[in-house]
Amino acid sequence: MKIAWPAQLSLGADGMGQSLDHVRHIMGQSMEALIHHFKLVTEGFRVPAGQVYTAIESPRGELGYHVVSDGGTRPFRVHVRDPSFVNLQATAAMSEGGMIADVIAAIASIDPVMGGVDR
C-alpha cells in the first residue's frame, strides 16, 4: 500500500499545495512517479476496513470524529461530534429557577455555533 508522495513534497509560495519545482521534478524525471502521483491525488489511498473515533480539544470543548471505512478510498460513514451540541444541553440546568429573559444570557454564555449544532 503506497500512501506517501513519490518524491520530497515541498509547499508552494502560497503555503498550500505543491511547489512548481516539485511538479517539474516529477514530470521531467520519472514517468512512474508521475503516474503514482496522479493516481494518489485523484483516487486517494485505501484505508483498512474498520472504524475509528478520534477527538481533539477545540476552544469550545471536545471535537470528535467517528469514521467508518469499508476498505475503499472514501469513508463509508462519518459522524462529527460538535462541542456546541453537547454544551447547549446545559441550557435547561442553567435556566432553572430564572426568568425567561435569563435564557438568552444563559445561551450567550455558552457561545454555541448553531451550524455545528444543526449538523
pLDDT, averaged across the chain: 81
Question: Does the global pTM surpass 0.85?
Answer: no
pLDDT digits (tens, 9 = 90+) for 88-105: 889 999 999 989 999 999
With H, G, I as helix, E, B as strand and everything else as coil, classify residue 97: coil
pLDDT digits (tens, 9 = 90+) for 61-97: 999 999 999 988 888 899 999 999 888 889 999 999 9
Rounded distance between C-alpha atoms, residue 1 and residue 84, angstroms: 38
Residue 24 CB neighbours (<10 A): 10
- The 8-class DSSP code of residue 16 comes to S
**The dihedral sign for the CA sequence 57, 58, 60, 65:** negative
| Confidence (pLDDT) at 77 | 93
Consecutive H or E run containing 10: none
